[in-house]
Amino acid sequence: MRTVAYREALNEALSEEMEKDDRIFLMGEEVGHYDGAYKVSKGLLKRFGEKRVIDTPIAEGGFVGVGIGAAMVGLRPVIELMTWNFSFVAADQLINNAAKIRQMSGGQFTLPIVFRGPGGSAHMLAAQHSQSTEALWAHIPGLKVVMPANPKDAKGLLKSAIRDNNPIIFIESEVMYGDQGEIPDGEYTIPLGVGEVKRPGKDITIIGWSKMVKIALGAAEQLAAEGIEAEVVDPRTIRPLDEDLIVESVKKTGRCMILEEGWPFNGVGAEIAYRIGRRCFDDLDAPVERLTGADMPMPYNHHLEVQCLPDVPRAVALAKKLLYLE
């Protein structure tokens, strides 16, 4: 095992896959000469050249469309969006082309393309740059949505995403690029659609993804000090969702809370809660609860921003409520 940063794990995945397959190329704003806005693509231009690491204008609708066309004719693009907040500029390309061309062509075209970049809130970036978009993209048939929570998952899932023959929405947390974590030595991948139990427990299931896994693990640690064993489940892939893993955990614990950075209405957590209710109704000892981001645009002020996001104290309090301890 080696300890690397989240951004370094992503860089390794890109470099290793580009080395193996010369059809893979990276394209986006500042990915080349600047080494990427978050340094994920550091060194790739020098290693692979300007034909495979391509700096673009500030025109998401344009270069996303170019990537889709390239995938249709046999290349395997990785399109970096400087932030998923900018994906709305390319919404028509992503929704009406990337997601639908394979089905509308009767399988005559495949779309082996990865759209990746940072998402969610960061620090004081305000309403237009602090949005969790996974519920929007997961709503679209034809798109797979992946959200790694640590360096090991980031590398293994990105390698699988690049090898997949479908369009992948790959959302990285904007505040986790410097996070350190262990990754296996040598070649490995993590299959899409397979979640993971990050911490075993028997009293309550806590479900979270991306940076919410850190909140879930922090809450589980505090609960453990009081003799409460919380099981932390990370779906890793929002669509396809590892529903069986979630159901297995909830059937074991009888209680469940879902942590979600995004807005509550029509959120991913609402879909997961519905599926739990449908399959675990007789196993639940309490209603499924959600702790989400505030139902409002993100304020710029740091203190207000903190109040808008799930945190460990609120997660602990909600878990105790579900366990009828408060």
Rounded Cα–Cα distance for residues 253 and 248 (Å): 9
**What is the CB neighbour count within 10 angstroms for residue 115?**
28
Tokens of 112: 């082996």
Active-site residue, selected from the candidate residues 8, 17, 29, 60: 60
Supply φ then ψ for residue 2, to 5 degrees.
Answer: -125, 150
Cis, peptide link before residue 287, omega less than 30° from 0:
no
**129 noted as active-site residue:** yes
Length of the chain: 326
Rounded Cα–Cα distance for residues 240 and 251 (Å): 21
Supply φ then ψ for residue 291, to 5 degrees.
Answer: -120, 110
Give 95's DSSP letter: I
Active-site residue, selected from the candidate residues 16, 30, 129, 229: 129
Q: At what angle do helices 243-253 and 268-280 cross, to 10 degrees?
A: 60
Q: DSSP strand E in 29-97: where?
A: 53-55, 76-80
What residues act catalytically? 60, 129
